[in-house]
A and B are shown apart, each in its own frame.
Chain A
Amino acid sequence: MAELGRICLLLALIVCVYGIGVSLYGARTGRLEFSDSGRRAVYALAIVLTVAFAVLELAFLRNDFAFNTVADTSSRTTPTFYRAAAVWSSQEGSLLLWAWLLSLWSSLALFLVRRRLRDVSAYATAILLGLGGFFIALMIFYASPFQTTTPKPAEGVGLDPLLRFPTMMIHPPMLYSGYTLCTIPLAFAAGALLARRVDADWIRATRRFAMAAWLFLGIGILLGARWSYSELGWGGYWGWDAVENASLMPWLTGTAFLHSLMIQEKRGMLKVWNVSLVLATGTLAIMGTFLVRSGILNSIHAFGGATLGVPFVVLIGVLIAGSIYLVVSRREMLRSEHRLDSLLSRESIFLANNLVLVALCFVIFWGTYFPLISEAFTGNEASVGPPWFDRYTVPLALMLVLLSGIGPVIAWRRATLANARRNFVVPLACGALTALGLLAAGVTQKPLALAMFCCAAFVFGSVGQEFVRGARARRAMAGGAPPAALLGLVRRNRRRYGGYVVHVGIAVLFVGVAASSSFQHAVEQRLTPGSSARVGAYTVRYVRPTAAITPKNDTAHTGSTLDVGAVLDVSKGGRHVATLRPSQGFYDSGEPAQGTVGHLIGGQAVSHISMNGGLTRDVWTAIAPDISTPALQRIVSVGNRTLPADEAGVAIGVLAREYLKNPPPAQFHFIVSPLVMWIWIGGLIVFGGGLIAIWPTPSAVRRRVALRSRARASHGLARA
């Protein structure tokens, strides 16, 4: 079936080339049948790539190791769920996933606007097919997912142990959905500029896709952070890794766009700003995809040995040059229709908010790409670590949270000072009370964290006030109980109140970040059974070692050969709090040179952390057991000399029993982090708010709104 996959790729490329041609011809001549044929080429592309993806997926599920990518990333012992998701753990499979998701989202977008924006969408179709064709060409000429080996191997290498984690399997589809959705507003923005139709209609048509891109990217980023915290053995959720940063940057510019597009919709302002943000977001999404495949990164995120840097650099160059050309050549059409009425207005706050978001993006961009560029030119490995990023991003994050609390209480167009003063009383009181409370509790040594807590309280106060006043106004107009009034308020103003919920979620998330990073207790200590370590207010006692031969006892589907760990008792003030069971899995290296026994545990050792999480704190631990002691290594070397391959597991059992009988000291890493759970809760609130904002208003509600508005407008005009 690999032949079918290869045919699908070739057919997909032909469809892309055809679609680009007819779309551009239709756009230039106005012949709608050609534009429609181009749009349908996108649908056809989605069908062809679905077949291609199904072929590869089936190959994984059927353990068809003739496919190189299956042999490299899967095995007969890989659990079915991970086998199904292993499709996108390789360079080739992830390229196919990218192209497939692009074709699906593009099909949906073009279907929804099929009767509108026909001139704009013809150009947008050509751009989307161009991007799709680029990824398909990469697969055909550089990294084919349908490359085969004859004769086929009997067994595969298996999935990277670090990827054997549920959230890690969902993380790439979420992230790639975000990246591919970012290209849709880019295509429509470029199409609007090419068609010289830069009104708000293209924004209305693609706004929901921009919002969906923002949502999926955000979920993908959060899932990655959760994986980092729960799986990797360093105890953190964000390390300012280049690939983490690459996904955050389009999210930041996308956030800025979602705010300023409201101003263009209402006031016809910030047109240059908006097209620039959209084009930048799409380009940054491509750059994020480029980073892991360029071969310039040595990162857990990178596809090892990747050499797709040159084609991506060419594409990014074309995107940047094309974007600049379009914006500069159409600058007259992009002039604002109005000016800011007042500095004390929601428009001004949005503009300030956007400046902060773009500044954040710039800082992260500089910190991410400058060391890479510097190394490329000088050959010296430059690095910019978390302290550098924190120095500049923390103050900007504070400003961002503060502005997210100010925006909701300021009116559009203009706000009088007296009114603004009155509206700020409750939020300021919340911030002030929080400050007083924390200072009284002795929280003085971390001023930036204290500032973040106060800003978050300010946001809670301002948004809470909005909900209360809005519900009160709704009750005054329409009657009903407070809960019904609140529901009606949100249903009728989804964008506004969904956005407020997002602001609350962001504030909650930053509270978790500030608390967990500023007030964390971390200890690294070597312990023997019976000994204890002190971590903040907690005492952790090493109760006893554990060792399991995991092929028989692999309940967590780690895929390791041997799992060595410890049972730990966590107490506080003499009271038992939790029992933790961290371990480290030792994997088969597949290297015969390490011996029949040695290779079974000579591969990558992966930490399986253990954690007790709660609303107030997480107690986190990782272990690095020592199996290199002379006594244990003697078992391995004797086994290598005397045991055939099919009996080598006996030695592993002996090693495990010896470890339990005479456990050497093990290295432990303990962390107690306050309020980490609120990072994930904040993320869920952001997600919920985003869903509220993106959900279309039911038509029945729109009709009732129309009838009431017509009556009020008529009455108003009669008075005028």
Chain B
Amino acid sequence: MELLAVLLACVLVAVVLAIVGAPLRAARDREMAGEDVDSDTDPEHQAAYVRAELEAAREAKYLEIRDAELDLRTGKLSRADYEAVDGVLRAEALELLNRLQALDSGEGAEGGGDRGEGAGGAAMPGRPQPARERLSNPEVED
């Protein structure tokens, strides 16, 4: 077997071990330091999942609101139909924002622990804003 092939193989094995072992070593170091190890079953992570779902639903709702407005402006919806649809969509959006706000309040009452990142990739503000002011589409993806 060529010496170069053996050397390259050894380097590759070392690289693989370093890459896949990094999270395990970090968790072991945290355990040894007496810190908590992240678990998916932790309430914070579960709350992050709920937040991600709500934020995904929120963004989809914002997209629907914009689509309805564009449908009105391009003549696909009559004014009466648009107002009916828009009212329903905004009510649904408000419901989602209220649920997100409740999540914020719950976390704020616990001392504002690690909120994690939601689907929009933005950390939530420390002081919950009124839902009506937050009826917006911060990071709508087309």
Spell out A's residues near B (CB within 8 Å): 1, 3-4, 7-8, 11, 15, 18-19, 22, 26, 29-37, 40-41, 43-44, 47-48, 51, 115-119, 197, 199-201, 204, 265-266, 409-416, 418-419, 422-423, 466, 469-470, 473, 476-477, 492-496, 693, 696-697, 699, 702, 705-707, 709-710, 713-714, 716-717, 720
Contact = CB atoms under 8 A, between A and B. Distances in A.
A399 B140 CA distance: 33
B140 A11 contact: no
Contacts of A197: 49, 53
A104 B123 CA distance: 30
A53 B16 CA distance: 17
Contacts of A41: 19-20
A51 B12 CA distance: 9
Interface string B1-43: 1101110110011011001111110110000000001111110
B90 interface: yes
B76 A419 contact: yes
A714 B87 contact: no
Given A3-B5, A48-B16, A706-B139, A714 B39 contact: no
Given A15-B20, A411-B76, A414-B81, 17 more contacts: A7-B9, A11-B13, A32-B45, A35-B40, A116-B52, A119-B49, A197-B49, A199-B56, A200-B56, A201-B52, A265-B63, A266-B60, A470-B70, A476-B73, A496-B67, A713-B135, A714-B135
Contacts of B140: 697, 702, 705-706, 709
Contacts of B21: 37
B115 to A, nearest CB: 12
A492 B62 CA distance: 13
Given A36-B23, A709-B66, A720-B87, A415 B142 contact: no
A412 B5 contact: no
B137 interface: yes
A200 B60 contact: yes
Nearest to B137: A709
Contact of A412 (B13, B64, B116, B136): B64
B126 to A, nearest CB: 19
B100 to A, nearest CB: 14
Given A37-B24, A200-B60, A495-B142, A44 B15 contact: yes
Contact of B19 (A33, A40, A412, A699): A40
Nearest to A699: B139
Given A48-B16, A119-B49, A410-B76, A201 B24 contact: no
Given A3-B2, A4-B5, A496-B142, A473 B49 contact: no
Contacts of B12: 7-8, 11, 47-48, 51
**In the A-B complex, the 6 residue pairs with the closest CB atoms:** A30-B40, A473-B73, A33-B27, A710-B136, A36-B23, A30-B41
B103 interface: no
Nearest to A33: B27
B70 A473 contact: yes
Contacts of A697: 140-142
A714 B23 contact: no
A201 B37 contact: no
B138 interface: yes
Contact of A423 (B37, B41, B76, B132): B76
Given A15-B16, A37-B24, A473-B70, A702 B49 contact: no
B109 to A, nearest CB: 24
Contacts of A720: 87, 90
A469 B2 CA distance: 69
A272 to B, nearest CB: 19
Contacts of A266: 60, 63-64, 67
Nearest to B117: A115
